[in-house]
């Protein structure tokens, strides 16, 4: 690594002297508005001498003696050539080029192609759009910016993960997220929990919101993002292409006039978007909301709160009361108290500060870019934070006219403090949302959430005080990561190029979870320390040889052949200590009981591939690719698999006379087959450390009573195991009207996943319970529509609008023989997420109300509906359709932009609201001076007229009491939100302050407004985070945030 870094540093200062004859200066402007074009390329034709224009579109180039012609080009503009002659000043006006308005896009394996030649759908998001979002996570920054893409945040806490899906889900229990590529090299984007080897449950239902590792990237380093949506677009990635791919291309140095320095400062001020609404009338206690003997409402009950007794210690003999979690007590006013707004008092306004420094420069021989960034993000939850530091160095150098080398070295450190979440006795929202308004969790502020002896104040003895868990039960992580690549381009002939690229990604993630003595989340309140180290290493190698040939003036083509080698290693070391002897001393030597576990995986793939492209008169384009793949995870009886693709692009406007209406038209069609790799170690039978549990407790596991033990896994290895397979067909139409003023891109796709891995039951006499088999089948069908245009475009004013629309329909077609349902992941007893034939993947299944043939609830003599003995589908957690509407207005340098994000459908189980109903905490449950009649029919078919008490109604109908059906807690998660809004202005100061080229001022907001009927936290939420396939679960999830952002950028 030291040699690699030294080489990159030397490249920065390397150069080749050129004999110069004359200097040409000038300005490159646009015919559209007359303004200078910054970043336009000026090249001496026939040489490698070139540079880019400055921020005003000006240039000064030294032309070699053999130079005769200057070539001027810019993305989306027609290239222009000018003969130099005796001129020393050459000013050029470039015209828009409708045929090249999208320019060149980076596709699979880092291959660049003209967008008009593509026979499949891709979409590009610029780096500016990404940074305008204000998101520190480059995945979350893509929300609502591209058709076919769904981004799901897991909460507003610093570093919380973001999940991304392209065209729905492709597999049942494997990873459904796309492959992430940075500069042609795959990187890890996993979201791994900290989990002990003896834990038999889904750790995602509790714990903290872990980070997805794309968080380590600096958004300011991103030049563009290309989204490869379907199998044809990503086919060259083989068994890693089943979920599509997202290609991040980073900024590099350019041939400029001197060294350019840019400094940026962003300050983000965040607060909670929304919380469940609470009643503030009734105090803690039981018995309220019932009925008197005469049937009239009895709104008030008995006040009961927790009291640890004189020793101020819980669970000792002098405890006076353990308290209750209910707020069915008397009115708060009758106790001489005033309501306490614990949630409002607890959450804080958070501040985030980001510094970015970029230094870039170069000439036609050598270029470089160095960036440094630092982020300090304070969370809305006290004692939570995210700190991120990144250093990235990129360099390119031409050794000769035939050989070019370059590389990137990127080091980042990401660390922070996270808070407990979800179904967790130390959970922030669980303790906070159940807290009675008559109980002050931190009277007077400061450390008053604890008694004088350090024990926390509680309204019920089994829940940690929320302040106590925030400050005394922290989860810390510290990630050190290096991503780097090195490439060599060799072009021995004008028609032949060979590229070798070597890339690596490795990180160590050191985590520590503390539970203070007395905390209720561990099995016993004796304190606990968990130490977890996760290490990942990936090495990727590509060799690509490309030949281009022009057969005649009408027909040309190219052929690329290559080889890919990849190896990934992962290690997870976990150690736990319980029964701590000394308070506040969090060292494993302080623990009386120790446990440790380790998980390691290694997988390798090797592939040969080709990419053949034919071009007939720049009108008809044919692309055929193939990848032959070998992988260590395939069954021993399976050696390799072949993944083909074919696509056709027909630019039919080449046959139509030029006109002012339809400027460009392209029809496209593609077909491809790709794969999803089996998980490591599923093709063979292995020994494992067994766990025996009853489904409620942690059970028994080895080592047990000081003895280790191993046994055969319950899953029999499958020597014939194959990768899952995805076959996609896609049709599209790309149209541009009125000389590029309006564009329409439409895509229809049909993508079928088959050979999906399913645990198929086998005879117990075999000694095993199941075998992993290629048995499942699922389909995604949908449409994607992108419409964009410039309704107004003058010299001083421009209005650009872009709309993207997506509708995806998913259906599970087949499961394994003898399998009626596949549980996506373990969830809750009353509700889960399943793959069931005929339903959408991930459908929420749970208890339902019994209904008659008309769909009416059947009400019993007790005035309550009955539960259907058969569980059923109670909602699809994925949206029916999504839409993004982006508007941008520019008036004399002032730019105003806003992005609306619309989601229709997507059901969410609001377990938070159901429990709050049950314990009398919701705003609605404050209406206790009345009885309730549940809509439905009685056994005789007449309308129900049986009144029930408020307590009965909120506990056993809309709550989660023992007689309630979980379907009552499933709500529509639709929304319309102002995802982003910004106003910015650039001050060009070059003439007045030569050292300072420009100053950018920006004021922006994120999630400032949302319209939704969802009664809880921001419906963009996920209990289990990006590392899980569960979607639509809200059980005391941490809330989302809204932000105001002030930005300053100075160019030197």
For residues 159 and 88, membership in a common domain is answered with: no
For residues 833 and 884, membership in a common domain is answered with: yes
Residues contacting residue 1042 through CB under 8 Å, at least 6 positions apart: 270, 271, 272, 273, 1005, 1006, 1007, 1008
Could you write out the three-class secondary structure of 721-744?
CCCEEEEEEEEEEEEEECCCCEEE
Mean pLDDT to the nearest integer, 418-433: 95
pLDDT beyond 80 at 706: no
Token readout for 934 is 């549940």
pLDDT beyond 70 at 2: no
Widest CA span of the chain, in angstroms? Answer: 108
Share of the chain above pLDDT 70, in %: 96
pLDDT beyond 50 at 15: no
416-425, 658-667, 688-697: least confidently modelled range: 688-697
Can you give the CATH number for the domain in which 90 is found?
A: 2.60.40.1120
Please state the domain count of the chain: 2
For residues 67 and 155, membership in a common domain is answered with: no
For residues 195 and 54, membership in a common domain is answered with: no
User: Which pLDDT band holds residue 6 (cuts at 50, 70, 90)?
Assistant: very low
Identify any residues that bridge with 266 across adjacent strands, giving them in sequence order: 354, 1047
Average pLDDT of the chain? 92
| Cα–Cα nearest to 454, from 399, 378, 527, 394 | 527
Mean pLDDT to the nearest integer, 999-1013: 96
pLDDT beyond 50 at 100: yes
Distance in angstroms (rounded) separating the CA atoms of residues 210 and 161: 6
| Cα–Cα nearest to 956, from 928, 934, 939 | 934
181 and 247 Cβ atoms separated by less than 8 Å: yes
Task: Render pLDDT for 334-393 as a digit per residue (tens, 0 to 9).
Answer: 999 999 999 999 999 999 999 999 999 988 899 999 999 999 999 999 999 999 999 999
Distance in angstroms (rounded) separating the CA atoms of residues 830 and 833: 11
Question: CA 65, 66, 67, 69 torsion: positive or negative?
Answer: positive
Under DSSP, is residue 342 helix (H, G, I), strand (E, B) or coil? helix
What is the pTM (predicted TM-score) of this model?
Answer: 0.92
User: Which pLDDT band holds residue 695 (cuts at 50, 70, 90)?
Assistant: low
pLDDT of residue 156: 79
pLDDT beyond 70 at 19: no
Task: Render pLDDT for 632-677 as a digit per residue (tens, 0 to 9).
Answer: 999 888 888 999 999 999 999 999 998 889 999 999 999 999 999 9
**Domain that includes residue 72, residue range:** 20-96
Helix/strand number for the chain, H first, E second: 8, 58
pLDDT of residue 750: 97
Distance in angstroms (rounded) separating the CA atoms of residues 656 and 128: 36
pLDDT of residue 78: 82
Judged by phi (left if over 0) then psi (alpha if -120 to 50, else beta), residue 870 lies in: beta
For residues 174 and 79, membership in a common domain is answered with: no
Q: Which string of DSSP letters, residue by residue, matches 55-77?
A: TTSEEEEEEETT--EEEEE-TTB
For residues 661 and 809, membership in a common domain is answered with: yes
46-50, 390-394, 578-582, 611-615: least confidently modelled range: 46-50
For residues 159 and 84, membership in a common domain is answered with: no
Mean pLDDT to the nearest integer, 603-616: 96
pLDDT of residue 52: 83
Q: Residue 494 domain-assigned? A: no
Name the burial class of residue 708, with classes exposed (0-12), middle (13-18) and buried (19+) by CB atoms within 10 angstroms of its CB.
Answer: exposed
User: Which pLDDT band holds residue 5 (cuts at 50, 70, 90)?
Assistant: very low
- Lookup result for tokens 């003209």: 114
Task: Render pLDDT for 871-895 as a digit per residue (tens, 0 to 9).
Answer: 999 999 999 999 999 999 999 889 9
Q: Residue 552 domain-assigned? A: yes
Distance in angstroms (rounded) separating the CA atoms of residues 295 and 860: 18
Q: Which string of DSSP letters, residue by residue, matches 453-502?
A: TSPBP-SBTTS--HHHHHHHS-EEEEEEEEEEEEEEEEEEETTEEEEEEE
Question: Domain end: 96, 112, 145, which one?
Answer: 96
pLDDT of residue 754: 95
Element containing residue 193 per DSSP (H, E):
none
For residues 604 and 723, membership in a common domain is answered with: yes
pLDDT of residue 1027: 92
Can you give the CATH number for the domain in which 131 is found?
A: 2.40.170.20
Q: Residue 480 domain-assigned? A: no
Query: CA torsion 1004→1005→1006→1009, rounded to 10°?
Result: -150
Q: Residue 887 domain-assigned? A: yes
Q: Residue 605 domain-assigned? A: yes
pLDDT of residue 20: 44
Question: CA 157, 160, 162, 163 torsion: positive or negative?
Answer: negative
Task: Render pLDDT for 832-855 as a digit per residue (tens, 0 to 9).
Answer: 999 999 999 999 999 999 999 999
pLDDT of residue 139: 96
188 and 861 Cβ atoms separated by less than 8 Å: no
Distance in angstroms (rounded) separating the CA atoms of residues 378 and 354: 12
Q: Residue 913 domain-assigned? A: no
pLDDT beyond 80 at 563: yes
Q: Residue 381 domain-assigned? A: yes
pLDDT beyond 80 at 721: yes
Omega of the bond leading into 703 within 30 degrees of 0 (cis): yes
Q: How far is CA 671 from CA 114, 729, 749, in A?
A: 19, 5, 10
| Cα–Cα nearest to 1036, from 1020, 1022, 1050 | 1022
Q: Residue 326 domain-assigned? A: no
- Lookup result for tokens 């023992």: 962
For residues 150 and 79, membership in a common domain is answered with: no
User: Which pLDDT band holds residue 702 (cuts at 50, 70, 90)?
Assistant: confident
pLDDT of residue 99: 55
Mean pLDDT to the nearest integer, 577-606: 95
For residues 619 and 585, membership in a common domain is answered with: yes
Q: How far is CA 255 from CA 54, 173, 294, 368, 946, in A?
A: 11, 48, 89, 9, 81
For residues 92 and 134, membership in a common domain is answered with: no
Length of the chain as a residue count: 1052
In angstroms, how far is the first alpha carbon of the chain from the final one?
32
pLDDT beyond 80 at 4: no
Share of the chain above pLDDT 90, in %: 77
pLDDT beyond 60 at 101: no
Identify any residues that bridge with 280 across adjacent strands, giving them in sequence order: none
pLDDT of residue 693: 67
pLDDT of residue 268: 96
Distance in angstroms (rounded) separating the CA atoms of residues 29 and 38: 9
User: Which pLDDT band holds residue 81 (cuts at 50, 70, 90)?
Assistant: confident
SS3 content of the chain, % helix, strand, coil (to 5): 10, 50, 40
31-35, 200-204, 942-946: least confidently modelled range: 31-35
Q: Count CA within 13 A, CB hemisphere, residue 203.
A: 16
Please provide residue 268's backbone torsions phi and psi, each rounded to the nearest 5 degrees. -115, 125
For residues 614 and 678, membership in a common domain is answered with: yes
47 and 66 Cβ atoms separated by less than 8 Å: yes
pLDDT of residue 761: 87
Give the chain's radius of gyration (CA, Å): 31
CB neighbours of residue 407 within 10 Å: 23
The distance from CA 364 to its chain's CA centroid, rounded to whole angstroms, is: 38
Question: Domain end: 96, 113, 133, which one?
Answer: 96
């Amino acid at each position: 690594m030291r040699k690699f870094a030294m080489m990159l540093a030397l490249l920065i200062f390397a150069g080749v002297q050129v004999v110069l004859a004359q200097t040409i200066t000038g300005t490159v402007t646009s015919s559209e508005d007359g303004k200078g074009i910054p970043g336009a390329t000026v090249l001496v034709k026939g040489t490698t001498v070139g540079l880019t224009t400055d921020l005003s579109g000006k240039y000064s180039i030294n032309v070699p003696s053999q130079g005769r012609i200057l070539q001027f080009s810019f993305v989306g503009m027609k290239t222009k050539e000018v003969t130099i002659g005796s001129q020393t000043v050459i000013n050029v006006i470039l015209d828009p080029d409708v045929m090249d308005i999208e320019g060149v896009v980076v596709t699979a394996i880092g291959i660049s192609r003209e967008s008009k030649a593509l026979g499949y759908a891709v979409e590009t998001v610029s780096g500016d759009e990404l940074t305008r979002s204000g998101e520190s996570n480059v995945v979350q920054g893509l929300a609502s910016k591209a058709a076919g893409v769904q981004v799901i945040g897991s909460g507003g806490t610093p570093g919380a993960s973001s999940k991304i899906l392209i065209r729905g889900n492709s597999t049942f229990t494997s990873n459904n997220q796309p492959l992430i590529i940075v500069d042609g090299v795959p990187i890890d984007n996993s979201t791994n929990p900290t989990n002990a080897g003896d834990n038999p449950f889904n750790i995602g239902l509790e714990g903290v919101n872990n980070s997805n590792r794309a968080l380590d990237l600096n958004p300011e380093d991103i030049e563009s993002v290309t989204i490869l949506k379907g199998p044809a677009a990503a086919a060259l990635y083989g068994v890693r292409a089943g979920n599509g791919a997202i290609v991040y291309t980073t900024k590099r140095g350019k041939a400029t006039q001197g060294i350019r320095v840019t400094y940026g400062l962003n300050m983000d001020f965040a607060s909670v978007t929304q919380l469940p609404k609470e009643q503030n009338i009734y105090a803690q206690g039981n018995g309220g909301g019932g009925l008197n003997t005469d049937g009239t409402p009895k709104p008030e009950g008995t006040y009961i709160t927790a009291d640890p007794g004189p020793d101020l210690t819980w669970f000792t003999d002098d405890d006076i009361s353990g308290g209750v979690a209910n707020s069915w007590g008397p009115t708060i006013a009758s106790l001489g108290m005033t309501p306490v707004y614990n949630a409002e008092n607890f959450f804080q306004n958070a501040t985030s500060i980001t510094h970015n420094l970029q230094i870039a420069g170069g000439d036609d021989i050598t270029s470089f870019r160095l960036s440094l960034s630092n982020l300090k993000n304070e969370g809305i939850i006290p004692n939570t934070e995210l700190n991120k530091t990144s250093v990235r160095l990129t360099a390119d150098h031409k050794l000769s006219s035939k050989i070019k080398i370059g590389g990137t070295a990127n080091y980042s450190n990401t660390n922070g403090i996270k808070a407990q979440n979800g179904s967790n006795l130390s959970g922030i929202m669980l303790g906070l949302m159940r807290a009675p308004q008559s109980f002050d969790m931190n009277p007077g502020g400061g450390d008053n959430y604890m008694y004088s002896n350090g024990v926390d104040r509680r309204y019920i003895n089994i829940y940690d005080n929320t302040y106590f868990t925030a400050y005394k039960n922290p989860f810390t992580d510290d990630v050190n990561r290096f991503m780097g690549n090195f490439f060599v381009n060799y072009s021995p002939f004008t028609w032949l190029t060979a590229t070798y690229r070597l890339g690596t990604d490795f990180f160590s993630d050191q985590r520590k979870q503390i539970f203070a003595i007395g905390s209720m989340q561990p099995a016993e309140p004796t304190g606990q320390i968990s130490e977890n180290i996760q290490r990942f290493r990936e090495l990727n190698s590509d060799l690509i040889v490309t030949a281009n040939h022009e057969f005649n003036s009408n027909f040309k083509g190219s052929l690329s052949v290559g080889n890919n080698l990849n190896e990934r290693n992962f290690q997870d070391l976990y150690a736990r200590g319980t029964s701590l002897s000394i308070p506040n001393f969090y060292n494993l030597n302080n623990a009386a009981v120790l446990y440790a576990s380790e998980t390691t995986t290694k997988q390798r793939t090797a592939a040969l591939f080709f990419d053949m492209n034919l071009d007939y008169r720049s009108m008809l384009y044919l692309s055929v690719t193939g990848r032959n793949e070998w992988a260590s995870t395939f069954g021993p009886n399976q050696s390799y698999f072949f993944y083909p693709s074919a696509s056709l692009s027909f630019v039919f406007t080449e046959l139509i006379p030029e006109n002012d209406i339809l400027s460009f038209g392209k029809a496209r069609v593609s077909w491809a087959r790709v794969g999803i790799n089996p998980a490591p170690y599923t093709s063979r039978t292995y020994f494992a450390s067994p766990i025996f549990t009853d489904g409620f407790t942690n059970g028994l596991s080895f080592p047990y009573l000081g003895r280790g033990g191993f046994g055969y896994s319950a899953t029999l290895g499958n020597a014939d195991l194959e990768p899952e397979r995805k076959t996609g067909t896609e049709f599209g139409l790309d149209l541009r009207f009125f000389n590029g003023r309006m564009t329409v891109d439409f895509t229809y796709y049909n993508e079928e996943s088959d050979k999906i891995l399913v645990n198929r039951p086998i005879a117990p006499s075999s000694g095993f319970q199941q075998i992993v088999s290629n048995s499942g089948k699922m389909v995604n069908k949908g449409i994607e529509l992108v419409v964009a245009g410039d309704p107004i475009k003058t010299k001083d004013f421009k209005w650009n609008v872009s709309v993207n629309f997506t509708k995806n329909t998913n259906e599970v077609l087949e499961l394994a023989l003898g399998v009626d349902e596949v549980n996506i992941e373990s969830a809750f007893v009353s509700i889960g997420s399943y793959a069931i034939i005929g339903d959408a993947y991930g459908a929420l299944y749970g208890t339902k109300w019994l209904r008659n043939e008309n769909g009416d609830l059947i009400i019993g003599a007790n005035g309550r509906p009955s539960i259907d003995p058969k569980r059923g589908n109670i909602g699809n957690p994925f949206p029916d359709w999504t839409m993004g509407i982006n508007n941008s207005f520019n008036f004399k340098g002032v730019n105003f932009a806003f992005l609306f994000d619309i989601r229709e459908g997507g059901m969410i189980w609001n377990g938070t609201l159901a429990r709050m109903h049950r314990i009398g905490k919701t705003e609605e449950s404050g209406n206790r001076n009345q009885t309730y009649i549940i809509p439905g029919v009685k056994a005789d078919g007449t309308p129900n007229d049986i009144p029930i008490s408020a307590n009965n109604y909120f506990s056993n109908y809309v709550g989660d009491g023992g007689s309630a059906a979980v379907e009552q807690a499933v709500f529509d998660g639709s929304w319309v939100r102002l995802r982003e809004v910004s106003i910015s202005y650039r001050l060009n100061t070059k003439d007045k302050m030569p050292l300072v080229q420009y100053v950018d001022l920006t004021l922006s907001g994120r999630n400032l407004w949302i319209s939704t009927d969802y009664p809880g936290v921001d419906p963009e939420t996920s209990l289990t985070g990006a590392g899980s396939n569960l979607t639509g679960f809200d059980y005391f999830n941490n809330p989302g945030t809204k932000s105001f952002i002030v930005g300053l950028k100075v160019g030197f």
